[in-house]
Chains A and B, each alone.
Chain A
Amino acid sequence: GIQVEQSPPDLILQEGANSTLRCNFSDSVNNLQWFHQNPWGQLINLFYIPSGTKQNGRLSATTVATERYSLLYISSSQTTDSGVYFCAGMNYGQNFVFGPGTRLSVLP
Chain B
Amino acid sequence: DAGVTQSPTHLIKTRGQQVTLRCSPKSGHDTVSWYQQALGQGPQFIFQYYEEEERQRGNFPDRFSGHQFPNYSSELNVNALLLGDSALYLCASSSGTGFGYTFGSGTRLTVV
Q: Measuring CB to CB, which residues of chain A are less than 8 angstroms from any residue of chain B?
A: 4, 31, 33, 35, 40-43, 45, 48, 86, 88, 90, 93-101
Contact = CB atoms under 8 A, between A and B. Distances in A.
B102 A94 contact: no
A101 B43 CA distance: 10
A95 B105 contact: no
Interface string B25-60: 000000101010100011111001010000110100
Contacts of B99: 31, 48
A49 to B, nearest CB: 13
A31 B108 contact: no
Contacts of A31: 98-99
Main secondary structure of the interface of B (DSSP, over half): strand
Contacts of A96: 35, 43, 45, 101
A93 B56 contact: yes
B88 interface: yes
Contacts of B45: 95-97
A-B pairs, top 10 by smallest CB distance, nearest first, are A98-B42, A43-B103, A95-B45, A41-B106, A94-B98, A42-B105, A98-B43, A100-B42, A41-B88, A101-B42
